[in-house]
A and B are shown apart, each in its own frame.
Chain A
Amino acid sequence: MTGYKLGKTVGIPMERILVIWAMSLGSVLACGPALSPPHMASVQLSIHQAKQLGARRCAPQALAIAVSQYQFAQLEAQQGFPSRAGNHLWQAERHALAAQLLSADNLCTAVRRESAPTSNSDTPVNLGAPTGAEES
């Protein structure tokens, strides 16, 4: 067994090697997608840019999912579930990028310029969490 050999050659008891191995395995399994304030901010910026490009009109489904998933990520992060928050943030990021791609079309920009905003129904949802993604 490698642990036994390592323990013999380096001089570390095998039990200690097993404990370290188990702890590192546990930490790897416990961690989900990365969740950090800069990552949150970059996703928020991505959503904002998608809105600026006219995603509300050109890619409403992708934008709606991005905004919702971002809010779920904020909620889960506040409640102390970083792994779940990371999953939601990943979804938000993907859909925000999709919204940007779908809105980057020239036709979409033309439509956006012609039409004035009709309603303000995407007002922040108060779920006890600050909804930064909604601010535009």
Chain B
Amino acid sequence: MKRPRRWKWLSLGSTCICLLLSGCGPVLVQSSIQQAELQLERADYLGAAEISPFEYFQAVEYLAKARQEMTDGDFEDARLLAEIALARAVAAVARAQQQTPYYPVAPTP
């Protein structure tokens, strides 16, 4: 039995979309985790562990959990956790910058 050409293209298209979507998950997570890592490095550089330890260590914990979720293959949760880690790291940086009178120029991500 010959399959109609439309179905052939439809199945090919859906396969391509599935492949693209499955490939994008890890990339998006990796990007979020890298952003959070950069902000944490910045926070570290500004001494946020001393100045705003609560935000800093929350960021550290969330980043570790994001990495663990990524290893487990739960990309959506990993991305969310990495974004929270990023937000906490940004808060730590902001607080460190506020409370340090003459802070050095932090490396920009």
**Chain A residues within CB distance 8 Å of chain B:** 56, 60-61, 63-65, 67-69, 72, 75, 79, 119, 121-122, 125, 127-128
What sequence of 0s and 1s flags, for each residue 74-102 of chain B, a beta carbon within 8 Å of any chain A beta carbon? 00010011001001000100010000000
Count of A-B residue pairs with CB < 8 Å: 42
Q: Which residues of B contact A75 (CB under 8 A)?
A: 77
CB <8 Å contact, B61 and A60: no
Q: How far apart sit A64 and B48, CA to CA, in the bound complex (Å)?
A: 14
Q: Which of B62, B65, B91 contacts A121 (CB 8 A)?
A: B91
Known contacts A121-B91, A121-B95; is-contact A127 B58 (Cβ 8 Å): no
Number of interface residues of B (CB under 8 A): 17
15 A-B residue pairs with Cβ-Cβ distance under 8 Å, sorted by A, are: A56-B54, A60-B54, A61-B53, A64-B58, A64-B61, A68-B62, A68-B65, A69-B61, A72-B61, A72-B65, A75-B77, A122-B54, A125-B84, A127-B80, A128-B80
For the residues of B in contact with A, the DSSP-based class is: helix
Q: Which of B61, B77, B80 contacts A65 (CB 8 A)?
A: B61
For A91, the closest partner residue in chain B by CB is B61
Q: Which residues of A contact B95 (CB under 8 A)?
A: 119, 121
- B55 CB–A CB distance under 8 Å: yes
